[in-house]
Amino acid sequence: MSLVITPAVILQTFRYSETSKVARLATRDLGVQSAIAKGALRPKSRFGAGLEFLSEGEAQLYYRDSRELHTLAAFDVANLRRGLAQDVARFAGAAALAEIMIKIAPPAPVPAAYDALVEGLDRLAEAPAPAVEAAALRALWRLVGELGFEPALRACVRDDTPIPASGDAPVAFSPAEGGVLCARCGTNPPTRLPRSDYEDLLALNDPGAPLPALDDSHAAAHRRLLARFVRHHIEAPTLSALDSWERRTWAQPPRTPTPAAS
Residues 6+ apart with CB under 8 A from 215: none
Q: Are residues 122 and 223 in the same domain?
A: yes
Q: Are residues 107 and 220 in the same domain?
A: yes
Q: Are residues 20 and 69 in the same domain?
A: yes
234 near 241, Cβ under 8 Å?
no
**Count of domains forming the chain:** 2
DSSP strand pairing (171-174 vs 179-181): antiparallel
Q: Is the pLDDT of residue 234 over 80?
A: yes
Here the CATH number for the domain that contains residue 119 is: 1.20.1440.120
Residues 6+ apart with CB under 8 A from 199: 212
Residues 6+ apart with CB under 8 A from 31: 105, 106, 107, 108, 109, 110
Q: Are residues 76 and 92 in the same domain?
A: no
Range with lowest mean pLDDT among 44-53, 142-151, 164-173, 180-189:
44-53
41 near 21, Cβ under 8 Å?
yes
Confidence of residue 68 (pLDDT cuts 50, 70, 90): very high
Q: Are residues 172 and 66 in the same domain?
A: no
At residue 258, the pLDDT reads: 61
Q: Are residues 52 and 96 in the same domain?
A: no
Q: Are residues 28 and 144 in the same domain?
A: no
At residue 256, the pLDDT reads: 63
Q: Are residues 108 and 215 in the same domain?
A: yes
Asked whether residue 255 is domain-assigned, the answer is no
Of 80, 107, 123, which residue sits at a domain end?
A: 80
Q: Are residues 140 and 229 in the same domain?
A: yes
At residue 158, the pLDDT reads: 94
Neighbours of 133 (CB within 10 A): 25
Q: Which domain holds residue 131?
A: 87-249
pLDDT, one tens digit per residue, over 32-43 is: 999 999 999 998
Q: Which comes out higher in pLDDT, residue 77 or 262?
A: 77
Rg, the chain, Cα only: 21
Neighbours of 39 (CB within 10 A): 14
Overall average pLDDT of the 63-84 stretch: 92
Overall average pLDDT of the 189-213 stretch: 95
Confidence of residue 240 (pLDDT cuts 50, 70, 90): very high
Q: Are residues 96 and 33 in the same domain?
A: no
At residue 262, the pLDDT reads: 42
Taking the C-alpha atoms of residue 197 and residue 215, their distance in angstroms, rounded to an integer, is 12
At residue 46, the pLDDT reads: 85
Mean pLDDT of the chain: 93
At residue 219, the pLDDT reads: 97
Confidence of residue 165 (pLDDT cuts 50, 70, 90): confident
Does residue 63 sit in helix, strand or coil?
strand
Q: Is the pLDDT of residue 21 over 90?
A: yes
Asked whether residue 231 is domain-assigned, the answer is yes
Overall average pLDDT of the 154-181 stretch: 94
Q: Is the pLDDT of residue 220 over 60?
A: yes
pLDDT, one tens digit per residue, over 87-136 is: 999 999 999 999 999 999 999 999 999 999 999 999 999 999 999 999 99
At residue 194, the pLDDT reads: 95
What angle do the packed helices 132-144 and 195-204 form, to 10 degrees?
70
Q: Are residues 67 and 179 in the same domain?
A: no
What angle do the packed helices 195-204 and 216-233 form, to 10 degrees?
60
